[in-house]
């Protein structure tokens, strides 16, 4: 708890300035960080709930902007073809929230149901690794110098177990963070490129898993023909 409280008082020590340069909202980071600093002992459960909500809303927002002007027809198709159980169990998304976004009054005879149980951490291995890599990039980029990066690597074992509980593969974080001292820091441009690549791959895998499109030529063809790639 002490490191969180110290970080809240001086958020710049955790990469505040660097994160701004890649398009992240520093005010949101500071608000979440300082809330965590004063949170009770069940901080992991609170964080998981916030992560699930945020990831769900990102997925919904991406979908709402992925089909150009064909939103109504696309929403109908998604409503009919989403596997809401898989969405909950494999992707750790709020399937009800997604259903409400694309199935107004559920008029299309979908099989949308409330999840039978809550899943906090994504089970799909590819998304798990992609999300961990994205977290690793952003955390590593917060270092202001190779020396600080080395110190962060040395101290990372204090964070690793907590991050595992939040669905982050700590080995992937170490691979990105714990590099030779003579390797230069990543530039903002490189980080933005890595972020875009990881986010794109996560969205692609989420969409394929959520619609059961893997191995289904008809569904894959529909997605390929209807997604407006320039909008993404």
Gyration radius of the chain's alpha carbons: 19
Q: Which of 21, 60, 46, 209 is nearest to 126 (CA)?
A: 209
CA distances from 164 to 3, 21, 103, 146, 159 (A): 18, 28, 34, 25, 9
Summarize pLDDT for 68-97 with one digit per residue, the tens: 876 788 988 999 899 988 888 888 888 888
Task: Tell whether the model's pLDDT for residue 131 goes beyond 80.
Answer: yes
> What whole-number distance in Å separates Cα of residue 125 and Cα of residue 120?
14
Q: What is the DSSP string of 145-193?
A: SHHHHHHHHHHTHHHHHHHHHTT--HHHHHHHHS--TTSPPPPHHHHHH
> Would you call 70 helix, strand, or coil by DSSP?
coil
CA 152 to chain centre: 22
More confident residue, 196 or 107: 196
The pTM (predicted TM-score) of the whole model is 0.82
Task: Report the 10 Å Cβ neighbour count for 129.
Answer: 17
Q: Which of 96-105, 108-117, 127-136, 166-175 has the lowest mean pLDDT?
A: 108-117
The angle formed by the CA atoms of residues 85, 111 and 229, to the nearest 5 degrees, is 75
> What whole-number distance in Å separates Cα of residue 232 and Cα of residue 195?
14
Contact 52, 89 (CB under 8 A): no
Summarize pLDDT for 11-70 with one digit per residue, the tens: 555 655 677 888 887 777 777 666 665 665 556 667 777 888 889 999 999 998 898 876
> What whole-number distance in Å separates Cα of residue 40 and Cα of residue 138?
26
> What whole-number distance in Å separates Cα of residue 196 and Cα of residue 192?
6
């Amino acid at each position: 708890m002490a490191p969180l409280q110290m970080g809240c008082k001086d958020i710049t020590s955790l990469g505040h300035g660097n994160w701004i340069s890649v398009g992240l909202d520093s005010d949101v980071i500071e608000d979440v960080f300082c809330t965590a600093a004063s949170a009770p002992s069940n901080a992991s459960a609170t964080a998981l709930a916030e992560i699930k909500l945020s990831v769900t809303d990102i997925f919904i927002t991406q979908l709402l902007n992925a089909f150009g002007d064909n939103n109504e027809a696309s929403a109908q198709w998604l409503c009919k073809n989403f596997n809401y159980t898989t969405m909950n169990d494999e992707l750790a998304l709020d399937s009800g929230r997604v259903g409400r976004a694309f199935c107004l009054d559920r008029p299309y005879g979908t099989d949308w149901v409330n999840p039978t149980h809550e899943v906090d951490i994504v089970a799909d291995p590819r998304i798990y690794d992609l999300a961990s890599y994205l977290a690793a990039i952003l955390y590593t980029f917060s270092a202001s110098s190779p020396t600080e990066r080395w110190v962060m690597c040395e101290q990372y074992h204090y964070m690793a177990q907590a991050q595992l509980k939040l669905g982050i593969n700590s080995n992937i974080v170490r691979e990105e963070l714990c590099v030779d001292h003579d390797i230069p820091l990543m530039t903002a441009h490189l980080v933005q490129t890595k972020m875009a690549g990881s986010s794109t791959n996560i969205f692609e895998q989420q969409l394929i898993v959520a619609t059961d499109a893997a191995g289904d030529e008809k569904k894959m063809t529909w997605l390929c023909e209807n997604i407006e790639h320039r909008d993404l």
